[in-house]
Each structure stands twice: as structure tokens, then as C-alpha cells.
Amino acid sequence: MKRVILLIGLCSVVAGAIAAEADSPAGKCMTCHKEKTPGLYKQWFASNHGSAGVTCLDCHGAAAGESDAFPHEGAHIATLVTPRDCGQCHAKEAEQVQKSHHATAGEILDSNDAYLAHATGGQPAAVAGCESCHGGKVKIDPASPNKLSRLSWPNSGIGRLNPDGSKGSCTACHARHSFDVAQARKPEACAKCHLGPDHPQKEIYEESKHGNAYYTHLDEMNIESDRWVVGVDYFEAPTCATCHMSATRTQPVTHEVGERISWTLRPPVSKTLPNWQVRRQNMQDVCRACHGQGFIDGHYAQYDGLVNLYNEKFAKPAGRLYDIAKRKGLGGGKAEFSNEYEWTYWEIWHHEGRRARHGAAMMGPDYTWWHGIYEVGKHFYFEFIPELREFHDAELDQAIAEVLADEFHVWLNRPTADIKADIKSGAMAKLYADMFEGPLGQ
């Protein structure tokens, strides 16, 4: 309560000082927006920006020659505030964001995801769907009152391509105009984008013991503290920010969200990222705030085992067969995704395969198996391969025979009793033993 009273008092001093200069450009902003958009004004008023005297013009002020600048009540402003603008005060954070995978999310414009949205759905689906999370290219419309095209604004996509050349949107996590750090620390901040059939991190987190502990003990998380060091300032549970961005006893806060990620789980076949061992140690440093090294080693062995299983048993063989079918033009239709086997392959890796991998990464067993590998296996064996067999192509049929002759797949032609005996004796486990020893084929 004392912190709230102090903040309101500071804001009152700042707002009073601005109001005393009502004829100044900043004073005009406050006077007008307090009446016209009171919710926006009150968000700013109660924020750290408000208490520090950061005014509308400090963020929205623009030079007359800027492409998105327009005259407004005696000043030139830009509606869009970019990471370059925020970097005037938050230089380190802006630099880290520009280096991060978040900043490249707008490159989805050239990916199959956007192709599907535009071709199968249509532009409105791509604009309101894909680009709202990943970010789109903000277009200038000289005829618009705020110089921004209504087809690309509003947009707070994490990898938004801004007119000033910067990438990203700070407001994707720090919602305007309060920019509350507590809000960015909560999993709900990430859940706008990290959910759904292809990357259900929100749902997996909620299923996990981490999520269960968070929702049980939110009031004990010290979530609004200026300093927020895991194991020191809070210890009941981690959030997304805890693991990927927030401070530990040995690491500072980072806005480069990949610094603690060792596997990339997005593509058809997972690969380790550059310097993956260092990245893994960074993440394990977070884990050690609450867990012993034996627990951590066990988790990573199981995580690596699942990713290696997905890669070796399903992803690589499916990719081989898919490449043959595509190279030979099988399936009809000139466009990509114009036939059934392409959709099936897509969902194997882009949906079920990702769910399995993310489930293992975040300790969500239901997503690892029932929403993950179970679906991968069903679609691989009983949809994808039968669809390819329908072409009766000699080269493809030979490749299918070779895939199914692999020791991973011979169970299909063995008696159930023999398979169960191998499971009980541990003989089948030997087939997968090396998968728990770290990333394979890296």
C-alpha cells in the first residue's frame, strides 16, 4: 500500500507540474487526453513513466520528415512507438530485443504459415491472425489521419517490422500505457501467442506442476517487486519470464529470449542452437534456484530422449518420404498444400510434433503423449504412409519399405505377445537407450 501511495504522490507532482504549463505541448497532451481518453491517461498517470515525468511527447514526438509523423495540436507526433524509440532510455533492452528470435518473428511473412493463411484463408485471416502475433510490416497511408494503414495498424506483434527499420514491439509484453513490469512477468503476457494447436506453451504450463504452483501461490510471488530474483525474492513457482528472461543470483535480466534455450523445437527436425551447451547451463542456473543437479540432469535426459525419439523415429523418415513425393510431383495440384499428404506431413511436425517436444521441455505429460507422440504415430503410420502408397510409385514404395524395415517400426509385423514380452524384459528399452544421452547427430 505504501508503494501505491508513494507512486500516486509522485504522479500527482509530475502531473501538477505539467498542468502548470498547460500551454506547453506536453501540457496540452495531458489536458486533452485526460478528457478524451481518460483510461489511457490514468494508465500513464499510475505508471513508472508517469512518476518519472516521461510525457506523451517523449515517446510519441517525431521529426517532421519521418515517414509516419503528422502534425497534431502544434507538434509533430507518430502514433507508433518502436523499440528504437524505447531504446532512447532503455538502450540495453532494445539492443537485446533486436538480437532475439522475437525480433525475427515478422519473417513469417515469407514462410509457409503465411502462405497457408493467404492462400487457404485470405488476407484478412493473415492480418488479424498471423500478423497479430508474429508482427506484420506497418504500412504508411498518407490519407490516414495517423499516417498508418488500417490494414497494418493496430499491430503489436512481437516481430513487427516498423517504418524506422527496427523490429519488434515492446508493447507485446509491456502493454501500453501502464507498461507494468508485473504484467510482463505473468504467463498471461506470453499467452496471447504461445498457445493453441501448434505451440501450446500456455496450456502445457498450466498442466505442469510449475503452473499449478503459480496459480496456487500467486499472492506470494512478490510479482510487483522492483527486484525479482528467483530463489531470493520469490520461490513458490517460476513463470515464463523466470525461466527465459528474469534475473537469477548469477544472471541479470535479459530480453534476448534465446539465451537459455538449447534446442529449437520449431522446425520439422529439431536441432541444437549455436553454443547450446552454454545456453543449457544458463537455463539450468535458473533450475538450481529450486532443484538439485540430479533432478535437473534427469529432466534434461528425458527431454533429450523425447526430442531424439521424435527426430529419429518419425521426423527424419517422414521428411525423406515427403521429399521424394514432392520431387516427383506426386499428388496433383500445382500449389503447395493442394493435396492431402502435404497437409498430413505438415500437421505431423507443425502440430503434433511440436506439442510433443514442448510438452517434454515444460514437463507437460499429456501434451508429450496424448496430444503429441500418440498423434504423430497415428498420422505417420495410418494416414501419411497410406496416402503415399496410393501413388504406386516404385521409388517411393521402395523408400517406404526401407523406412518400415527399420528397427523402430518392425513392431507393426510382430505378434502382440512378443512385443509385450520385449517391453517387460527391457529388450525394447535398449532400442532407445542412447536417446537419453544428449542430442543425437549434432
| pLDDT tens string 111-150 | 766 788 899 899 999 999 999 999 999 999 999 999 999 9
CA 221 to chain centre: 23
- Which domain-ending residue is among 49, 79, 109? 79
Q: Is residue 371 part of a domain?
A: yes
Say if residue 6's pLDDT is above 80: no
Mean pLDDT of 263-277: 97
How would you label 346-378 residue by residue, b for 16+ Cβ within 10 Å and e otherwise? bbbbbbbbbbbbbbbbbbbeebbbebbbebbee
Q: Number of structural domains, the chain?
A: 3
Say if residue 441's pLDDT is above 80: no
Mean pLDDT of 33-44: 93
Mean pLDDT of 302-328: 98
pLDDT-derived band at 108, boundaries 50, 70, 90: confident
Pairing status of strand 75-78 against strand 271-272:
unpaired
Say if residue 46's pLDDT is above 90: yes
User: In this structure, are 9 and 71 located in the same domain?
Assistant: yes
pLDDT-derived band at 5, boundaries 50, 70, 90: very low
Angle between helices 394-404 and 316-327 (to 10 degrees): 180
Question: Whole-prediction pTM value?
Answer: 0.91
CA 407 to chain centre: 35
Q: What is the pLDDT of residues 190-210, one digit of tens each?
A: 999 999 999 999 999 999 999
Mean pLDDT of 291-315: 98
Say if residue 2's pLDDT is above 80: no
pLDDT (0 to 100) of residue 442: 64
Say if residue 299's pLDDT is above 60: yes
User: In this structure, are 133 and 38 located in the same domain?
Assistant: no
Q: Which residue has the higher pLDDT, 333 or 53?
A: 53
Q: Domain range holding 156?
A: 80-173
Q: Is residue 254 part of a domain?
A: no
Mean pLDDT of 386-404: 98
CB count in 10 Å sphere of residue 385: 19
Contacts of 430 by beta carbon, 8 Å cutoff, 6+ apart? none
User: In this structure, are 26 and 41 located in the same domain?
Assistant: yes
* Cis before 90 (ω within 30): no
pLDDT-derived band at 20, boundaries 50, 70, 90: very low
pLDDT (0 to 100) of residue 115: 86
Q: Is residue 317 part of a domain?
A: yes
CA distance 30 to 60: 13
User: In this structure, are 43 and 84 located in the same domain?
Assistant: no
Q: Is residue 224 part of a domain?
A: no
Mean pLDDT of 36-49: 93
Q: Is residue 226 part of a domain?
A: no
CA atoms within 13 A on the CB side of 183: 14
User: In this structure, are 392 and 431 located in the same domain?
Assistant: yes
Q: Is residue 275 part of a domain?
A: no
Which residue type is seen at 328?
K
CA atoms within 13 A on the CB side of 89: 11
Q: What whole-number percentage of the chain has pLDDT above 70?
A: 94
Q: How big is the chain by its Cα radius of gyration, in Å?
A: 26
pLDDT (0 to 100) of residue 27: 82
- Which domain-ending residue is among 52, 79, 106? 79
What is the grid cell recorded at 118?
493467404
Q: Is residue 49 part of a domain?
A: yes
pLDDT (0 to 100) of residue 307: 98
CB count in 10 Å sphere of residue 31: 15
pLDDT (0 to 100) of residue 332: 83
User: In this structure, are 353 and 417 located in the same domain?
Assistant: yes
Q: What is the pLDDT of residues 339-374, one digit of tens each?
A: 999 999 999 999 999 999 999 999 999 999 999 999
pLDDT (0 to 100) of residue 25: 75
User: In this structure, are 347 and 422 located in the same domain?
Assistant: yes
Q: Is residue 257 part of a domain?
A: no
Say if residue 304's pLDDT is above 70: yes
- Which domain-ending residue is among 21, 56, 79? 79
pLDDT (0 to 100) of residue 112: 65
What is the grid cell recorded at 93?
533492452
User: In this structure, are 26 and 144 located in the same domain?
Assistant: no
* Weakest mean pLDDT among 99-103, 229-233, 267-271, 316-320: 99-103
User: In this structure, are 398 and 298 located in the same domain?
Assistant: yes
pLDDT-derived band at 7, boundaries 50, 70, 90: very low
Q: What is the pLDDT of residues 177-192, one digit of tens each?
A: 999 999 999 999 999 9
Q: Are 422 and 430 in contact (CB under 8 A)?
A: no
How far are the Cα atoms of 5, 195, 243, 278 from residue 258, in angstroms, in the given order? 38, 18, 11, 11
Helix H, strand E, coil C: the string for the chain is CHHHHHHHHHHHHHHHHHHHCCCCHHHHHHHHHHHHCHHHHHHHHCCHHHHHCCCHHHHHECCCCCCCEEEECCEEEECCCCHHHHCCCCHHHHHHHHHCCHHHHHHHHHCHHHHHHHHHHCHHHHHHHHHHHHCCECCECCCCCCCECCCCCCCCCCCCECCCCCECCHHHCCCCCCCCHHHHHCHHHHCCCCCCCCCCHHHHHHHCHHHHHHHHHHHHCCCCCCCCCECCCECCCCCHHHHHCCCCCCCCCCCCCCCCCCEECCCCCCEECCCHHHHHHHHHHHHCCCCCHHHHHHHHHHHHHHHHHHHHHHHHHHHHHHHHHHHCCCCCCCCCCCCHHHHHHHHHHHHHHHHHHHHHHCCCHHHHHHHHHHHHHHHHHHHHHHHHHCCCCHHHHHHHHHHHCCCCCHHHHCCHHHHHHHHHHCHHHHCCHHHHHCCCCC
Give phi and psi for 75, each to the nearest 5: -135, 165
Q: Are 249 and 289 in contact (CB under 8 A)?
A: yes
pLDDT-derived band at 327, boundaries 50, 70, 90: very high
User: In this structure, are 372 and 383 located in the same domain?
Assistant: yes
Q: What whole-number percentage of the chain has pLDDT above 90?
A: 87
The per-residue pLDDT of the chain, averaged, comes to 92
User: In this structure, are 151 and 15 located in the same domain?
Assistant: no
pLDDT (0 to 100) of residue 4: 38
Say if residue 293's pLDDT is above 90: yes
Q: Are 135 and 161 in contact (CB under 8 A)?
A: yes
User: In this structure, are 131 and 165 located in the same domain?
Assistant: yes
